[in-house]
Amino acid sequence: MYDLIIFDLDGTLLDTIGDLAAAGNYALEKMGKPLHGVEEYKMFVGNGIPKLIERMLPQGHSASEETEALGIFSEYYGRHKSDRTKPYEDMRELLVELSAAGITCVCNTNKAQEFSEELIRSVYGDLIREIAGAGRGFPVKPSPEAANELIRHFGGRALYVGDSGVDMQTAANAGIDACGVLWGFRSREELESFSPKYIAADVAELRGIILGKRD
């Protein structure tokens, strides 16, 4: 049924929230600002690191504080982005199976391209054929431009897989089917509010959606 699977990164392919929260709190502590719990960071992520910085800083912060926090965050995250990050259970096995079935797997993320490349290649190697992250010249999601370029390049019928409303909106903007996943950072209620075609509770259910429905 699907020839191309476009995966989100954070909260979909990899559980990155521990390292994102650690980098955020490191920057906040350096700046003498209040810290946040991991659950709060789950609501801050999804629109790229600059937006994460904006959300984690106290209301009424200045543009110069955003610049300072972004610099501290990026330097720390660059060194510690793999400390706690790990693949979701059975995800690698699914990617191997999809590849064997002739289904192309790619990634569209709002995370910086450099960080995305390093994380994905270290865990999944070439099972993810292409990565379209921030810094590739495309607007951030929910703009569909990166997804559309991946579809133009690889062809076939595409399914977008992600854990947030931003991902569901990106799929809708690209005019393709979406599958929301419940193992990531956002709630079922958020995903359902965008009316995706599918919702998967775990990787096994996602496998059934992709492989069980192929013609």
Domain boundaries, the chain: 4-15+85-211, 17-80
What positions carry a catalytic annotation?
A: 8
Residue 108: its H or E element: strand 104-112
Q: Indicate the fold that domain 4-15+85-211 takes in CATH.
A: Rossmann fold (3.40.50)
**CATH architecture assigned to 17-80:** Orthogonal Bundle (1.10)
Torsion angle (degrees, nearest 10) of CA 182, 49, 14, 80? -140
Residue with tokens 């690191």: 49
* Residue 11, both tokens: 């909260």
List the chain pLDDT tens, one digit each, 215 residues. Answer: 899 999 999 999 999 999 999 999 999 999 999 999 999 999 999 999 999 999 999 999 999 999 999 999 999 999 999 999 999 999 999 999 999 999 999 999 999 999 999 999 999 999 999 999 998 889 999 999 999 999 999 999 999 999 999 999 999 999 999 999 999 999 999 999 999 999 999 999 999 999 985 43
- Asked if 165 and 15 count as a contact pair (C-beta separation under 8 A), the reply is no
- For the chain, the C-alpha Rg in angstroms (whole number) is 17
Q: Produce one character per residue of 166-200: b if its CB has 16 or more CB atoms within 10 Å, e if not.
A: bbbbbbbbbebbbbbbebbbbbeebbeebebebbb
**Which positions ≥6 away from 102 have C-beta within 8 Å?**
3
Does 17-80 match 4-15+85-211 at the fold level? no
Nearest Cα neighbor of 134 from 151, 159, 117 is 117
